[in-house]
Amino acid sequence: MTTFKLLVDSKHAKVFADLGSAARVDGPRLTRYVWEADEIAPDIRGRILRVTEGGHTAFYLPVREWKAAFFDMDSTVIAQESIVELAKAAGKENEVALITEQAMAGLLDFTSALRERVRMLSGLPDSVIAAVSKRLTINSGMTELGAFAKQKGIKLYLVSGGFNALASGIARTLGFEGFIANELDSENGVLTGNLRGTIINAESKALFLKETCARLNIHLNDTLTIGDGANDLLMMQASGAAIGYFPKKVLLPHLHGAIFHDHRDLIHVL
């Protein structure tokens, strides 16, 4: 038998009343259920999906000793889409934001969309990267979640389709064990509109998860993934549990649920 914990927006808690005793957490806002079963019933996953499709928090985790957590960066760990912030300096904010939204919703091929957006940055001084890094903000509760996870011995990794120059600072600020992201090309202090090396797309994210776990001798079932867009799907499917953070609808059927409030919500089921 496995012990499961489910957290749900209290306004929708009655959907899960048959699971047994409930406890309020974070004041009256959230309700937590704990129960034992051989496996999670498809009907419960269906109920979680219906709640999250309405934009309300609901997710579950099996109780186990989690070893590592892998986070997307843009709009998950940080509040912004970093490439949109860079595009502001080029006067291309609206164009890049539209392509980004479509790519994250799974409507465009990520790699092609990334190359198209990076081309719009051509000619910018690379000093704009440092300026943008100062504007990036950590999403609510992420600092607390990271500290709590590290206290429990969970290793933290940042897995980003954004850029090394920005991801490195975020990973360092939050005390993550490591990160992976794309490398912007520049010559003589000017962005060329190209990328160097391997593109960090959906396949690369999943590979980073698997290779990191192999290196650390961590079973994939003992990993958590947290993300919001289509580019996170393969990584999330490879992990032991996948939680969306304000996720695009394309992700919802594949998740253990979603958070639509604050990263600290995850603390209540770890």
Look at residue 192 in the predicted model and tell me its pLDDT.
96
Look at residue 171 in the predicted model and tell me its pLDDT.
98
Ramachandran area for residue 8 (φ above 0: left; ψ -120 to 50: alpha; else beta): beta
The residues assigned a catalytic role are: 72, 74
Look at residue 58 in the predicted model and tell me its pLDDT.
98
Q: What are phi and psi of 81, to 5 degrees?
A: -95, 110
Q: pLDDT digits over 216-232, tens only?
A: 999 999 999 999 999 99
| Sign of the alpha-carbon dihedral angle for 43, 251, 56, 39 | positive
Residues in the chain: 270
Share of the chain above pLDDT 70, in %: 100
The fold for domain 66-270 equals: Rossmann fold (3.40.50)
- Each domain of the chain, given as residue ranges in start order, spans 1-63, 66-270
Look at residue 194 in the predicted model and tell me its pLDDT.
96
How far is residue 139's CA from residue 136's CA, in Å, rounded to a whole number?
10
Q: What integer best gives the mean pLDDT of the chain?
A: 96
Q: pLDDT digits over 4-40, tens only?
A: 999 999 999 999 999 988 999 988 999 999 999 999 9
Look at residues 208, 256, 210, 201 and name the one whose alpha carbon lies nearest to residue 230: 201
Q: pTM here?
A: 0.96
| Of the options 4.10.860, 3.30.70, 3.30.190, 1.10.238, the CATH number for the domain spanning 1-63 | 3.30.70
